[in-house]
Amino acid sequence: MISTSKLSVILTVLFLFLLPAFILRVSASSEEMATLAITQAEETVASAYEAVLEAEQARANVSELLDQLNVAGGHLAEAHMLFRLGDFDGAVHFAEISSEIGMDVKNEAEELKIEAYGSWITSLWIRIIGSIVGVIAVVFGTLLAWRVFKRRYFRQV
C-alpha cells in the first residue's frame, strides 16, 4: 500500500508535469474560440452591410442603421486588434457584441427594405397613373382648344 504522503507527492509531480500541456491546450482553445467569434462577427457585419445597402437602394432611410453598423464595425476592429495582441477573451467579448449589433441591423434593414419597396411600388403606380391621366387630359384639352380657336378664327375672317 502506498502511504498518503507518497500518493500526494506522486499526484503533485503528475500535476506539475501535465500543467504546461493543460495551459497550452486552454490557450489554444481560447485562440480557436476567438478566431471563431471573429469570423462569425465578420460574416454578420458584412451581411448587415449588404442588407443596409439593399435597403438604401430601395430608397429607405438608413441613417440610424448606419450609425449602429459603425458601432458594430468599431467593436469588430477592436476584436481584431485584441486578437493580434493575444487577448483572446477580450477579442471574443468584442466580436460577440459586434455580432449581436450586426444581426439586429441586418434584421431591421431587411424590414426597412420591404417597407420602402412597398411604398416605392405605390408611389410608382400613383406617378404612372397620374402621368397617363395628365397626358390624356393635355392632349384632349389641346385638341379641344384648337377646335374652338379654329372656329373663332374662321368666324372673324
Partner 1 sequence: MKLDEFRILFLVAGLVLTLIAASPALSLISLPRSGERFSELWLLGPEHKAENYPFNVRNMKQYRIYVGVGNQLGELAYYAVYVKFRNQTQQLPNSKMSEPSPLPPLYEFRFVLSDGKVWEAPLTFTIEGNFSLVQNISINGIVFPVNRISTWDSDRNGFYYQMFFELWLYNMTSKSFQYHDRFVGLWLNMTGS
Give me the residues that bind partner 1 (CB under 8 A), please. 45-46, 49-50, 52-53, 56-57, 62, 66, 69-70, 73-74, 76-77, 80-81, 84-85, 124, 126-128, 130-132, 134-135, 137-139, 141-142, 145-146, 149-150, 153
Asked if residues 75 and 105 have their Cβ atoms less than 8 Å apart, the reply is no
Between 22 and 146, name the residue whose CB sits nearer to partner 1: 146
Backbone angles phi, psi at 16, to 5 degrees: -65, -35
| Grid cell 426597412 in the structure block, residue | 112
Residue 95, classed as helix, strand or coil, is helix
* Minimum CB distance to partner 1, residue 112 (Å): 13
For residue 128, what is its C-alpha cell?
A: 404612372
Nearer to partner 1, 13 or 139 (CB): 139
